[in-house]
Amino acid sequence: MAEKISFKLNGKPTSLTVDGDRMLLWVLRTDLGLTGTKYGCGKALCGACTVVVDGRAVRSCVVPVRSVNGKEVLTIEGLAKNGKLHPIQEAFVKHDALQCGFCTPGMILNAYSLLLRNPQPTREEIIQSMNNNLCRCGAHLRIIQAIESAAQEMKGAR
Amino acid sequence: MKEDEFKVSECDYNDGLYPLSRREFLQSIGGGIIILFTVSDAPTAEASRSSKKERPDFNAYLRIAEDGRVTCFTGKVELGQGVMTSLAQTLADELDVPLKSVDMVMGDTALCPYDAGTWGSMTTPYFGPVLRAAGAEARAVLIGLAAVRLKVPKDQLDVKDGVVFDRTRKGRKVTYAQLAQGKRIERRLEQEPQVKSVSELNIIGKPHNRIDAVEKVTGKAKYTGDIRIPGMVCAKVLRPPAHGAKLRSLDTSAVDETEGFQVVRDGDLVAVLHKNPDEAENALAKIKAEYDVPEARFDDKSVFDYFIDNAADGRVVEKGGDIESGHKLAQDVVEETYLDSYVSHAPIETHTALAQFEDSKVTVWASTQTPFGLQRQLTRELKIPIESVRVIAPFVGGGFGGKISNGQAIQAVKLAKIAKKPVQLVWSRADEFFYDTFRPAAVVKIKSGLTDSGKIVSWDYNIYGMGNRGAQMFYNVPHHRTTVSRELRSGENMHPIGTGAWRAPDNNTNSFARESHIDVMANRAGMDPLEFRLNNLTDERMRGVLKAAAEKFGWTPAKAPSGRGFGIACGSDVNVPVALIAEVKVDKQTGGVQVKRVVCGIDLGLVINPEGAKLQVEGGITMGMGYALTEEVHFEGGRILDLSFGTYKLPRFSWVPQIETVLIKADDSPSKGGGEPPIICVGGVIANAIYDATGARLLQMPMTPERIKQAL
């Protein structure tokens, strides 16, 4: 059933009338035109669809859009501010922490959420936190390095 | 000298390859300086051509526009392997322009001349050198123009960052942009001009971050599923329960009656269309379909016996000496059988296509490694002229050989034609696992002979179910023979499910079998595995990568099993020798393997982008751990049992070892492709390391905890 859903999307108040049972992923990609969030499996098993809701990384393919009503949603499109890349994005570029790039938005937002709650994670904590995000090209080593380097870069920044 | 010298002779040409005649094609490009060039033919490219007619008179070009920007138009596709960057580096260096002034236009059949496809690690060795030559030719043309403009002899001129200047008077200069203004110069690369010597290179050979990275970290990079066109709908296809199943009855009434949905059927292809893909997917569940499923001939467990029992006699594909005499010379004969399973490509981007008909023309965006191949498939499928089909391959989210046959694009086109509106089809993850062209399961039987001095004297190598890529004997063996059996005695294909190329086809399985067997022989000879290999090798490049890896690793000789968990393996793919040395830890209780460290020695000739090459090595090793340790498609006949990442296990962050890459310095040797070679030895090196750790020899991949416990 169509209902009105309101939330903050990448810092901007957003309202739409939509079937609240539909998954956030598809509402973002179709109704809202934000295609940076990717479909990889539809079962919360790969992490390509990861977005951040109220500071926590979630799998948008299994999150009904109703559940983000009144919350703050961050997608990959909202991470760079005024054309300046976020330090995690910078680090992914600098460390070549990607190949095909399809898992990359989910990787970055999962790392973003990790660094919010644990600004100086150990390597082991990074690995544990990223372990359920899949990359098929094998950029894992670089992704770990990029997150370590971003954490270092962001030290004291907030 | 006059500028007229640079005008080309009139040449009208149309062999049906291009949507436009060559003249029209060139007219459409616009002004500036254009260099047309043809890529030398690789044997595989030759074999893949359907006919002689598929020979284009040129198949890429570069253009220096009136604003000074340089564009390379190529049918190659960026799949994640990094060629957008390495090709831009290649061109920028020869042209002497900043890398950031180069734009790459890739994989669009309307803008780029013919290319056979992006596979076989062929972009760097075959496309790269010609692109260098084209860059050098363009530079020569520009220097010629500058000489006229500046009234200075050519040999007094030099170029830096797209500015031609007089070496004797620095203030006397002209930019490429100025030279290209108001010009319309076409040059055909006829004979290879002088390219830079290694010492003159500034951008080639230097590490560079990927030029597509910023787009990819900001979500701006467009993949096929991100394309939106007015009036388009999304399709979800009804997946049959098994390969070979025939649709017996279909009841779509529950969906037909719902507003906004449309069911489309074309034979056994059934799809639901809706403006939202998720709603189309949900509606599939309301369709009632019954299928006749053929009886299963075998499953993932019985497949190997089935191959052996039913295979046609093998065909000898390679031999030297006389195998029977060789066995007679041996003091010890070693026989073993190696097994490998079906493996999925599992790119994170599932196969996707968007098809749009306009009048009699169709445009298809597709995640594909073969845009021109798809263009030809659609020409046949739709029975329309080739100029009426345009295929565009945007960024592709991983290919690995799995995005060659284009099944999703054919489906999307059929649906769009019937629905009379643009249709975007994104295969679900389950569709992806089902419709994949799997890496074939295979059996390799080896019988080999050993002398008292630790020399391999005979090698009888028998393959069932796949080809012999990677099986070419590089050890010194006087008597050897390789046979391949890929069909059943009945003449039918062995495989009940679609099979195809998978990153270094055949080679992962062949290198696993060979390198495991070499270790078995080293053990029988009482020798250290590295020493045994070197004792049987004179190939200098292979010895080079083995020694480089051993030195980096800090290899100390010991007879396996030493308990250290050290393994070694080497092999060759697309003329690239590669050696891996690994350290593993085996949990004898659980059978679990943790790979701690992998060192790779690899000889890629002149490396274009060292950082990109290392990235491919790391990617290959990481991906390879999947087929080595967990990846295996379970099936019963045509029924695929693994349809999600829940049961089909890809490598994860927690698996990833320390990886160190030694790129052999071979700058005078031609550049080679690095997308496939690094993955070929991962199975062999892990098997050998497990043996060294535990004394258990694994003869079947993947080496799952259950199989390891059994072997212990």
**Which of A78, A100, A120 is the last residue before a domain boundary?**
A78
Contacts of A107 in chain B (CB under 8 A): none
Average pLDDT, chain A: 97
Chain B closest-CA separation from residue A49 CA (Å): 11
Are residues B318 and B416 both part of a single domain?
A: no
Are residues B391 and B282 both part of a single domain?
A: yes
**What total number of domains does chain A contain?**
2
**What total number of domains does chain B contain?**
3
| Contact (CB<8Å) A76/B426 | no
What is the model's pLDDT at position B22? 59
Interface test with A, best of B224, B274, B367, B653 (most A CBs within 10 A): B653
Are residues A37 and A94 both part of a single domain?
A: no
Interface test with A, best of B78, B89, B216, B227 (most A CBs within 10 A): B216
- Distance from C-alpha of A29 to C-alpha of B277, rounded to nearest angstrom: 10
φ and ψ at residue B249, rounded to 5 degrees: -145, 150
User: What amino acid is encoded at B574 in this protein?
Assistant: V
Cα angle: B112, vertex B116, B118; to 5 degrees: 90
Q: What is the CATH number of the domain that holds A65?
A: 3.10.20.30
Q: Helix B610-629 crosses helix B682-694 at what angle (to 10 degrees)?
A: 60
Tell me the pairing of strands A12-19 and B593-602.
unpaired
Helices of type H across B13-78: 22-29, 43-48
The complex's ipTM works out to 0.98
Residue A28 in tokens: 């973002």
Measured between CB atoms, does A37 come within 8 Å of chain B? yes
C-alpha neighbours within 13 Å on the C-beta side of residue B78: 27
Residues 112-151 of A with CB under 8 A from B: 126-128, 130-144
Q: What is the CATH number of the domain that holds A112?
A: 1.10.150.120
- Distance from C-alpha of B307 to C-alpha of B500, rounded to nearest angstrom: 18
CA of A27: which chain B residue's CA is closest? B276
What is the model's pLDDT at position B8? 31
| Contact (CB<8Å) B652/A134 | yes
Pick from B582, B627, B578, B567: nearest CA to B603: B578
User: What amino acid is encoded at B121 in this protein?
Assistant: S
| Contact (CB<8Å) B615/A96 | yes
| Contact (CB<8Å) B644/A35 | no
Are residues B408 and B479 both part of a single domain?
A: no
| Contact (CB<8Å) A140/B395 | no
CA of B344: which chain A residue's CA is closest? A136
Are residues A106 and A61 both part of a single domain?
A: no
What is the model's pLDDT at position B127? 86
| Residue B79 included in any domain | yes
Residue span of the structural domain in which B176 resides: 3-218
| Residue B298 included in any domain | no
Pick from B432, B210, B605: nearest CA to A104: B210
Contacts of A48 in chain B (CB under 8 A): 348
| Contact (CB<8Å) A140/B652 | yes
- Distance from C-alpha of B628 to C-alpha of B567, rounded to nearest angstrom: 14
Which residue is it, tokens 């092999």?
Answer: B571
Output B559-562 pairs: Cβ under 8 A, ≥24 positions apart.
B559/B523, B559/B526, B559/B527, B559/B528, B560/B519, B560/B522, B560/B523, B560/B528, B560/B529, B560/B688, B560/B691, B560/B692, B561/B691, B561/B692, B561/B693, B561/B694, B561/B695, B562/B692
Contacts of B398 in chain A (CB under 8 A): 99-100, 102, 136-137
**Which of A17, A50, A78 is the last residue before a domain boundary?**
A78
Contacts of A43 in chain B (CB under 8 A): 429, 644-646
| Contact (CB<8Å) A77/B218 | yes
Interface A–B counts its CB contacts (< 8 A) at 174
- Distance from C-alpha of B373 to C-alpha of B559, rounded to nearest angstrom: 51
Q: What is the CATH number of the domain that holds B237?
A: 3.30.365.10
Residues of chain B above pLDDT 70, percent:
93
Pick from B512, B513, B685: nearest CA to B599: B685
Q: What percentage of chain A's residues is helix, strand, coil (to nearest 5)?
A: 40, 20, 40
What is the phi-psi region of residue A108: left when phi exceeds 0, alpha when psi lies from -120 to 50, beta otherwise? Answer: alpha
Are residues B247 and B390 both part of a single domain?
A: yes
pLDDT in tens, B123-166: 898 889 889 988 998 999 899 999 999 999 999 999 999 999 99
Chain B closest-CA separation from residue A156 CA (Å): 23
Are residues B585 and B470 both part of a single domain?
A: yes
Chain A closest-CA separation from residue B622 CA (Å): 5
Are residues A112 and A72 both part of a single domain?
A: no
Contacts of B276 in chain A (CB under 8 A): 22, 26, 30-31
CA A104 to chain centre: 9
B378 contacts B351 by C-beta, under 8 angstroms: no
Per the DSSP assignment, residues forming a β-bridge with B304 are none
**Residue A128 burial by Cβ neighbours in a 10 Å radius (0-12, 13-18, 19+):** middle
- Distance from C-alpha of B391 to C-alpha of B378, rounded to nearest angstrom: 9
B432 contacts B644 by C-beta, under 8 angstroms: no
- Distance from C-alpha of A117 to C-alpha of A112, rounded to nearest angstrom: 9
Helices of type H across A35-96: 87-94
Chain B closest-CA separation from residue A1 CA (Å): 13
- Distance from C-alpha of B412 to C-alpha of B416, rounded to nearest angstrom: 6
Are residues A7 and A28 both part of a single domain?
A: yes
| Contact (CB<8Å) A131/B652 | yes
Contacts of B280 in chain A (CB under 8 A): none
- Distance from C-alpha of A61 to C-alpha of A63, rounded to nearest angstrom: 6
Radius of gyration of chain A (CA): 15
Closest CB to A100: pick one of B217, B397, B428. Answer: B397
User: What amino acid is encoded at B505 in this protein?
Assistant: P
How far, CA to CA in Å, does A40 sit from each of A50, A135, B626, B644? 10, 10, 18, 10
Are residues B452 and B584 both part of a single domain?
A: yes
- Distance from C-alpha of B431 to C-alpha of B240, rounded to nearest angstrom: 10
| Contact (CB<8Å) B217/A92 | yes
Are residues B465 and B586 both part of a single domain?
A: yes
Pick from B176, B189, B178: nearest CA to B134: B189
| Residue B548 included in any domain | yes
Residues of chain B with pLDDT under 50: 1-19, 41-55
Pick from B604, B568, B600, B592: nearest CA to B688: B568
**Which of A61, A78, A95 is the last residue before a domain boundary?**
A78
| Contact (CB<8Å) A85/B214 | yes
Interface test with B, best of A99, A103, A108, A133 (most B CBs within 10 A): A99
**Which of B396, B426, B456 is the last residue before a domain boundary?**
B426
Other CB atoms within a 10 A radius of the CB of residue B383 amount to: 7
C-alpha neighbours within 13 Å on the C-beta side of residue B226: 19
Are residues B200 and B246 both part of a single domain?
A: no
Helices of type H across B460-592: 507-524, 529-535, 540-553
Direct distance between the N- and C-terminal alpha carbons of chain B, in angstroms, rounded to an integer? 80
Pick from B411, B431, B435: nearest CA to B498: B435
Are residues B396 and B454 both part of a single domain?
A: no
Contacts of B80 in chain A (CB under 8 A): 98-102, 137
CA of A18: which chain B residue's CA is closest? B276
| Contact (CB<8Å) A102/B397 | yes
Cα angle: B249, vertex B253, B258; to 5 degrees: 150
| Residue B135 included in any domain | yes
Are residues B277 and B323 both part of a single domain?
A: no
Are residues B590 and B617 both part of a single domain?
A: yes
Other CB atoms within a 10 A radius of the CB of residue B6 amount to: 18
Residue span of the structural domain in which A102 resides: 87-154
Residues 40-99 of A with CB under 8 A from B: 40-43, 45-46, 48, 75-77, 79-80, 85, 89, 92-94, 96, 98-99
Are residues A116 and A60 both part of a single domain?
A: no
* List of residues 6+ apart from B4 with CB closer than 8 A: none
| Residue B155 included in any domain | yes
Are residues A109 and A134 both part of a single domain?
A: yes
| Contact (CB<8Å) B217/A102 | no
B423 contacts B412 by C-beta, under 8 angstroms: yes
| Contact (CB<8Å) A137/B619 | yes
pLDDT in tens, A121-151: 999 999 999 999 999 999 999 999 999 999 9
B31 contacts B180 by C-beta, under 8 angstroms: yes
Per the DSSP assignment, residues forming a β-bridge with B356 are B363
Contacts of B215 in chain A (CB under 8 A): 101
What is the model's pLDDT at position B495? 92
CA of A19: which chain B residue's CA is closest? B279
Are residues A36 and A71 both part of a single domain?
A: yes
Are residues A58 and A97 both part of a single domain?
A: no
| Contact (CB<8Å) A131/B653 | yes
| Contact (CB<8Å) B656/A96 | no
Residue B483 in tokens: 């046979």
User: What amino acid is encoded at B641 in this protein?
Assistant: L
Pick from B432, B80, B412: nearest CA to A41: B432
Pick from B474, B532, B545, B469: nearest CA to B501: B469
Contacts of A137 in chain B (CB under 8 A): 80, 398, 619, 623
Pick from A121, A107, A104, A128: nearest CA to A155: A121
**Residue A131 burial by Cβ neighbours in a 10 Å radius (0-12, 13-18, 19+):** middle
Chain A closest-CA separation from residue B214 CA (Å): 7
Are residues A64 and A107 both part of a single domain?
A: no
The residue length of chain B stands at 712
For CA atoms B256, B260, B266, B268, the dihedral sign is negative
Closest CB to A138: pick one of B221, B611, B623. Answer: B623
- Distance from C-alpha of A130 to C-alpha of A138, rounded to nearest angstrom: 13
B283 contacts B255 by C-beta, under 8 angstroms: yes
Look up the pTM and report it: 0.94
φ and ψ at residue B275, rounded to 5 degrees: -70, -25
pLDDT in tens, A14-50: 999 999 999 999 999 999 999 999 999 999 999 999 9
- Distance from C-alpha of B276 to C-alpha of B259, rounded to nearest angstrom: 13
Pick from A33, A31, A103: nearest CA to A65: A31
Radius of gyration of chain B (CA): 28
**Which of B365, B391, B426 is the last residue before a domain boundary?**
B426
CA of B624: which chain A residue's CA is closest? A138
B338 contacts B462 by C-beta, under 8 angstroms: no
* List of residues 6+ apart from B234 with CB closer than 8 A: A30, B273, B274, B275, B276, B277, B280, B423, B424, B425, B426
Contacts of B77 in chain A (CB under 8 A): none
Are residues B389 and B466 both part of a single domain?
A: no
